[in-house]
Structures are given as structure tokens and as C-alpha cells.
Amino acid sequence: MLAETVQKFLPGCPWYDLHAHYPPNVDWCEEKLCSWILTPFNTWTNLGYILVGLWIWWKMRNSKSRVLRFFGPAVFIVGITSFIYHASLNFYTQVFDFLGMYVFCILLIMFNLSRSKEGITLFGLRLKWPEPPRAFRAFWGWTVALTVLTTVASLIHFPIQLFVFILILAIIATELKQTAPSRKYFWLTVLCFLIAAIFSALDVTRVLCNPQNHYFQGHGIWHMLGGLALFFSFFHYRQFENEIH
């Protein structure tokens, strides 16, 4: 078994000093091993994001929509940043992981706000994303600003996972404030994320937890279902290819 053939995580192991001095703000169930891949299942399950991202990039590489051309790379970034984080488990790569999540979440919010020429109203506020060429400048500005905010918030022990939860609510709200030919894939995306969130919550609360099992972990299931969710989300947003450039 993997846990029996790899030395336990002790001083002298890869990443040990960084993890000991600059730990992330959450401790997943999977046992850390003395390896360049500290938590195998939680790391390798990010390959789902990476493969989905590469497939979407290949499908959309010639699209006239710059936003949809970036959809695949955004999913790939989610996967590679999460892969690096779970392989190393320290504060710095955790911030890198959040950067990846922000890239994708802000992309969807940009996509939603760009679908309406007049903008949409939420909580009395009129929201409209800037037109090209300012659109991607605003996208990267928000992504970097949120990453900096996350870094600062983590230093004062703020639950930074709340930022991602707020962005997910913003994606859903900006989607439902306008019409769509079909929301079949949108609701499949939401369903996958809900089930994934349950597995992740059971993992972090240790309700579903066997640290020595490197073939099944709740948070790794979050990654696998998350990859499926982003796959479904692509089909939803592809409906608007001719509307968003």
C-alpha cells in the first residue's frame, strides 16, 4: 500500500519547512507523506480539471469569442494551481490556488455581465462589464485585487474560503437575472458543485475521513466532481458564443 511504502511527513521531507512555518488555513483529511506530492489523491484528482481545460481549449481555439477561447485555459489554470497547492500544502501555494479559482469565477461573472447590453440590476446596483478592449483589463484587475485581498485576509485569519462562496453566489445571481435558451447544463453544473461541496465538507469536518487511504478522499471527490461541473458549464456558456466577443 502507498502509505506503507512512503515515509511519514517529518523534518527533512520535501515541503516540510514551508508547511511548518507557513501552513494553509485548512487541514484536509488525507495524510501528508514524505514526498514531493504530499497528498496523492487530493493532488492527482486535479488532472480532471487539466484534461477538461485542454479539451475545451482544443474545441474553442478558433472561436471568434475571446472569452470562450479563454474558457479552456481558465479551467486548466484551476487544475494546475490546485495540483501545485495539494502537492505542497503551504500558505504561498494556497494563495496561488485561490488565484486559479478567481480566474475562472471572474471569467464567468464577466461573461454573464457582458451578455446584457444594458447591464443587470442586483440589490439596486446597475452592473455592466466594460466593453472590449477594456474587458480583459478589468478581468485581470479584479483577479489580482481579489488575490491580494485574500493574502491580507489570510494573515488576519479571515476564512478566505468565504470569498469563493460569494463569487459562486454572484455567478448564479448574474446568470438568473437574464434569459437563456436553456439552463440544463447550468443546473447540472450547480448540482455537481453541491454534491462536491458535501464531500468536501465531510472531509474537512472528519465525518468522512481515513487519512491513510490515498485512493479515496472527500476533497479529492470535490476535485473530480468539480472538473465535471466545469465541463457542463462550458456547454451552457457555449450557447452565447455569437453574443460575447
CA distance 166 to 170: 6
pLDDT category of residue 118 using cuts at 50, 70 and 90? confident
- Give me the pLDDT at residue 8, please: 82
Helix 47-60 vs helix 218-237: crossing angle, to nearest 10? 10
Inter-residue contact 115 to 240 (CB < 8 Å): yes
Residue 6: inside a domain, yes or no?
no
Mean pLDDT across the chain: 93
Residue 89: inside a domain, yes or no?
yes
Residue 134: inside a domain, yes or no?
yes
CA distance 118 to 87: 44
Residue 111: inside a domain, yes or no?
yes
Closest C-alpha among 66, 74, 215 to residue 134: 66
pLDDT in tens, 145-187: 999 999 999 999 999 999 999 999 999 999 999 889 999 999 9
The residue range of the domain holding 52 is 12-239
**β partners of residue 8:** 33
Strand segments, DSSP code E, in 128-228 are: none
Residue 245: inside a domain, yes or no?
no
Closest C-alpha among 212, 201, 150 to residue 5: 212
Stretch among 45-54, 59-68, 96-105 having the lowest mean pLDDT? 59-68
- Give me the pLDDT at residue 3, please: 43
Residue 215: inside a domain, yes or no?
yes
Residue 109: inside a domain, yes or no?
yes
Q: Looking at the 3D structure of the chain, how many domains does it have? A: 1
Query: pLDDT at residue 84 above 80?
Result: yes
Query: pLDDT at residue 196 above 50?
Result: yes
Inter-residue contact 168 to 193 (CB < 8 Å): yes
CA distance 240 to 56: 15
Question: In terms of residues, how long is the chain?
Answer: 245
State the pTM of this model. Answer: 0.93
Closest C-alpha among 95, 105, 174, 107 to residue 136: 107
Residue 184: inside a domain, yes or no?
yes
- Domain of 65, CATH number, reads 1.20.1070
pLDDT category of residue 1 using cuts at 50, 70 and 90? very low
Inter-residue contact 135 to 65 (CB < 8 Å): no
